[in-house]
Chain A
Amino acid sequence: AQSVTQLDSQVPVFEEAPVELRCNYSSSVSVYLFWYVQYPNQGLQLLLKYLSGSTLVKGINGFEAEFNKSQTSFHLRKPSVHISDTAEYFCAVTPGQAGTALIFGKGTTLSVSS
Chain B
Amino acid sequence: SAVISQKPSRDICQRGTSLTIQCQVDSQVTMMFWYRQQPGQSLTLIATANQGSEATYESGFVIDKFPISRPNLTFSTLTVSNMSPEDSSIYLCSVEGPRGVPSYNEQFFGPGTRLTVL
Distance in angstroms between the alpha carbons of A45 and B111 in the assembled complex: 10
Q: A90-B42, A98-B96 are in contact. Are A43 and B111 (CB under 8 A)?
A: yes
If A49-B105, A98-B105, A99-B30 touch, whether A106 touches B42 (CB-CB below 8 Å) is yes
* A32 at interface by CB-CB < 8 Å: yes
Contact assessment for A107 and B112 in the assembled complex, using a CB-CB cutoff below 8 Å = no
- The main secondary structure of chain B at its interface with chain A is strand
B11 within 8 Å of A by Cβ?
Answer: no
User: CA of A43 to CA of B42 in the docked complex: distance in angstroms?
Assistant: 13
Looking at B42, B96, B99, B111, the one whose CB has the most chain A CB atoms below 10 A away is B42
Q: Indicate whether B62 reaches chain A with its CB closer than 8 angstroms.
A: no
The answer to whether B105 and A51 touch across the interface, beta carbons within 8 angstroms, is yes
With A102-B94, A104-B43 given, can you name 18 additional A-B contacts, CB distance below 8 Å? Answer: A32-B105, A34-B106, A43-B110, A43-B111, A43-B112, A44-B109, A46-B106, A49-B105, A51-B105, A90-B43, A94-B105, A98-B96, A99-B30, A101-B45, A101-B107, A102-B33, A102-B43, A102-B107
Q: Can you offer 24 A-B residue contacts whose CB atoms are under 8 A?
A: A32-B105, A34-B106, A36-B109, A42-B111, A43-B109, A44-B43, A44-B92, A44-B109, A46-B108, A49-B105, A49-B106, A94-B105, A98-B105, A99-B30, A101-B48, A101-B94, A101-B107, A102-B33, A104-B43, A104-B44, A105-B42, A106-B41, A106-B42, A107-B42
Chain B interface (Cβ within 8 Å of chain A)? 30-31, 33, 35, 41-45, 48, 50, 92, 94, 96, 99, 104-112
